[in-house]
């Protein structure tokens, strides 16, 4: 069996996200062990049943609000104990929030930042510590960031700034691990438009929109190679290259 298809010991933070669920299904097919976290205990039970039916070796559940970061190291320790090790931490939780509301309501701005960035810092750092303490091969910490973090735009710049923070955090972690032998890998997905419940308020359709299964295939591949930044799908690398390079006097005329 090649590494690409070998089982993993996977902790998923935000396992009920559409993209996390699609990724978990692929990893279950190869007999992985899981600890899945989320806020909805019944939905986690259903997801666990589904993953077991697909071939998961084991699935443990932790019902958690990921804004509560005080338990992060304990959650990692419990995951190591439940699975007899840990080689994969997937950080998929997030919210889009409401940009217009965030401009008048500081609590909405705080919610967007807390979910997408400040809590994520704690989970990423705890995940990094847990993976560093393991000695096996192919250890990976993967986050779900966004192309929105590549350049601020009027429709979602509070969310974009939080994702930019997450991307730089992962870039720094990847830089640290690149200097060490046998270190884990840090992989940051820079996602474009994906058809999930998060984007239900946005008009969907057209060639720029991906499905959760498309992203799951990219995430699974990224567990073996690539990174630290993986544009998902790939064409967003070139779109964002163009968007970042567009002079402000042109960009300001575009309603994005
Ligand atoms: N969809 C896109 O176009 C897109 C584009 C760029 C980046 N992303 C990023 O991709 C990731 C996955 O999003 P998705 O599109 O798969 O969305 P999704 O299906 O709506 O999933 C988001 C998940 O985050 C969970 N969550 C939010 N706040 C939480 C908290 N405090 N504690 C625990 N769980 C929490 C939600 O749980 P509940 O069900 O309990 O609310 C939900 O399961 C997110 O980080 C998002 O920012 C998405």
255 compared with 183, residue with greater pLDDT: 183
Supply the pLDDT for residue 2.
Answer: 53
Percentage of the residues of the chain whose pLDDT score is greater than 70: 98
Instruction: Give 247 Cα–ligand 1 centroid separation in angstroms.
Output: 32
The verdict on the CB of residue 94 being under 6 Å from ligand 1 is yes
Q: Where are the domains of the chain?
A: 3-251
User: Model confidence over 228-241: pLDDT tens digits?
Assistant: 999 999 999 999 99
Supply the pLDDT for residue 256.
Answer: 86
CA distances from 5 to 102, 146, 211, 225 (A): 43, 27, 22, 13
| Residue 82: φ, ψ to 5° | -60, -35
Are the C-beta atoms of residues 52 and 84 closer than 8 Å to each other?
no
Are the C-beta atoms of residues 224 and 1 closer than 8 Å to each other?
no
* Residue 194 alpha carbon, nearest atom of ligand 1: 3
Nearest Cα residue to atom 18 of ligand 1: 17
Nearest to 189 by CA among 151, 139, 144, 123: 144
pLDDT over threshold 80, residue 151: yes
- 3: pLDDT confidence band, cut at 50, 70 and 90? low
Nearest Cα residue to atom 20 of ligand 1: 198
pLDDT over threshold 80, residue 4: no
Secondary element (H or E) of residue 218: helix 212-222
The verdict on the CB of residue 16 being under 6 Å from ligand 1 is yes
Length reported for the chain: 256
User: Model confidence over 86-113: pLDDT tens digits?
Assistant: 999 999 999 999 999 999 999 999 999 9
Annotation marks residue 159 as catalytic: yes
User: Model confidence over 26-83: pLDDT tens digits?
Assistant: 999 999 999 999 999 999 999 999 999 999 999 999 999 999 999 999 999 999 999 9
By CB neighbour count within 10 A (0-12 exposed, 13-18 middle, 19+ buried), where does 249 fall? exposed
| Residue 206: φ, ψ to 5° | 100, 170
- In 39-146, the DSSP E strands lie at 58-63, 88-91, 140-146
Mutate to test the pocket of ligand 1, among 198, 199, 203, 213 (most ligand atoms within 8 A of CB): 198
Are the C-beta atoms of residues 120 and 137 closer than 8 Å to each other?
no
d(CA 163, CA 120): 10
d(CA 68, CA 133): 23
* Residue 67 alpha carbon, nearest atom of ligand 1: 31
Supply the pLDDT for residue 211.
Answer: 98
By CB neighbour count within 10 A (0-12 exposed, 13-18 middle, 19+ buried), where does 245 fall? exposed
Are the C-beta atoms of residues 240 and 147 closer than 8 Å to each other?
yes
Supply the pLDDT for residue 194.
Answer: 98
The CATH superfamily assigned to 3-251 is NAD(P)-binding Rossmann-like Domain (3.40.50.720)
Query: Where do we find the tokens 């239900």?
Result: 200
Instruction: Give 116 Cα–ligand 1 centroid separation in angstroms.
Output: 9
Beta bridge partner(s), residue 141: 89, 186
Supply the pLDDT for residue 31.
Answer: 97
Secondary element (H or E) of residue 45: helix 41-53
Q: Which of 93, 117, 159, 231 is catalytic?
A: 159
Supply the pLDDT for residue 1.
Answer: 45
Instruction: Give 13 Cα–ligand 1 centroid separation in angstroms.
Output: 10
pLDDT over threshold 80, residue 251: yes
Beta bridge partner(s), residue 189: 144, 230
User: Model confidence over 164-182: pLDDT tens digits?
Assistant: 999 999 999 999 999 999 9
CA angle 194, 197, 200 (to 5 degrees): 80
Secondary element (H or E) of residue 131: helix 119-132
């Amino acid at each position: 069996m090649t590494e690409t298809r070998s089982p993993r010991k996977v902790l998923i933070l935000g396992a009920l996200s559409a993209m996390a669920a699609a990724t978990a299904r692929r990893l279950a097919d190869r007999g992985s062990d899981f600890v899945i976290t989320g806020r909805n205990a019944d939905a986690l039970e259903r997801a666990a049943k589904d993953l077991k039916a697909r071939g998961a070796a084991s699935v443990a559940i932790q019902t958690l609000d990921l804004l509560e970061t005080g338990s992060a190291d304990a959650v990692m320790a419990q995951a190591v104990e439940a699975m007899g090790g840990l080689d994969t931490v997937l950080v998929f939780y997030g919210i889009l929030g409401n940009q217009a509301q965030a401009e008048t309501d500081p609590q909405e701005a705080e919610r967007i930042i807390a979910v997408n960035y400040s809590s994520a810092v704690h989970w990423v750092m705890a995940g990094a510590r847990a993976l560093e303490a393991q000695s096996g091969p192919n250890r990976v910490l993967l986050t779900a960031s966004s192309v929105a973090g590549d350049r601020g735009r009027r429709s979602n710049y509070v969310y974009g700034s939080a994702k930019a923070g997450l991307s730089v955090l992962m870039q720094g972690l990847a830089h640290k691990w690149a200097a060490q032998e046998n270190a884990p890998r840090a992989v940051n997905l820079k996602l474009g438009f994906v058809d999930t419940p998060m984007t239900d308020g946005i008009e969907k359709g057209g060639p720029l929109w991906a499905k959760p299964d498309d992203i799951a295939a990219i995430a699974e591949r990224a567990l073996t190679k690539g990174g630290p930044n993986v544009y998902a799908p790939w064409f967003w690398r070139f779109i964002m290259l163009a968007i970042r390079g567009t002079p402000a006097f042109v960009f300001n005329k575009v309603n994005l």
